[in-house]
Structure 1
């Protein structure tokens, strides 16, 4: 018995690969993109202009998990939600931008599920407003995962 194909004709795996490809192609100065499953900590798909050892990519997935759902981060989210009177299982932090010496790393939770994060890595010269705008546009146009 085969897995049913969702509306739009693509399987979940194909949707993830398509999203990663679109992010890589459509976000300005993008050198890498990926999608991480926060429930397992696994990198579901990645596309990059350079080759990287599997260990580095696995560490990216683990770091993303810690960045969004580490113990201290979850405690801070809980305090913020409590102080603002928010009663929800939805995570408070939805987007995180990290700048390194040469790169800008944008991490975005996918609206359809808190458990999936898209990552876009761009040259540091990127216009940060365009980085956010284009990444959000691609996620919005891509629709539900």
Structure 2
């Protein structure tokens, strides 16, 4: 599995336009499994990325919203409702995508906020689908 994680990280960095950083987060452990970046970040920042990803997808309020949506729609499975989250900061765009094969794995791509959002979504989705057996 480690080789697959490395492949996803590398493919995101190479195929997503203007990608500055990519990574894969294991939601079950809250750990950053692998990453590539054009910048040098302290380990504390990288560790916080994994925790923030966990909060985005499976924080208490998010899970409550998912359960409410499922209840209202009559859905009884345990799948998570949110599959992708796009976050824009003042200078960066962060895309978080759950793996198609393992909902506890999330791929992350970070680009300048000048990135074409359509190209970001299309290329990251393609990579996660194609290489995302993680």
Interval of TM-score (by shorter of Structure 1 and Structure 2): over 0.9
Post-superposition, which runs of at least 4 consecutive aligned residues in structure 1 deviate over 4 A? none
Query: Residue 124 in 1 paired to residue 75 in 2?
Result: no
Q: Which runs of 5+ in 2 are unaligned?
A: none
Per the alignment, residue 92 of structure 1 pairs with 81
Give the drift of 1:98: 0.3
Q: SS state of the match for residue 115, structure 2?
A: coil
**1:30-64 residue CA offsets vs partner (Å, 9 max, x unmatched):** 10000000000000000000010000000000000
- Distance in 1 between residues matched to 2:78 and 2:68, nearest whole Å: 13
- Distance in 1 between residues matched to 2:57 and 2:11, nearest whole Å: 23
Which structure has the larger Rg?
1
Per the alignment, residue 141 of structure 1 pairs with 130
Query: Residue 102 in 1 paired to residue 94 in 2?
Result: no
Aligned residues: 134
Query: Residue 77 in 1 paired to residue 66 in 2?
Result: yes
Give the drift of 1:85: 1.2
Q: Which runs of 5+ in 1 are unaligned?
A: 1-11
- Distance in 1 between residues matched to 2:107 and 2:73, nearest whole Å: 27
Per the alignment, residue 63 of structure 1 pairs with 52
- Give TM-score scaled by structure 1 length: 0.91
8 Å Cα contact 2:32/2:46 also seen in 1: yes
* Higher RCO (CA < 8 A, seq sep 6+): 2
Q: SS state of the match for residue 30, structure 1?
A: coil
Give the drift of 1:143: 4.4
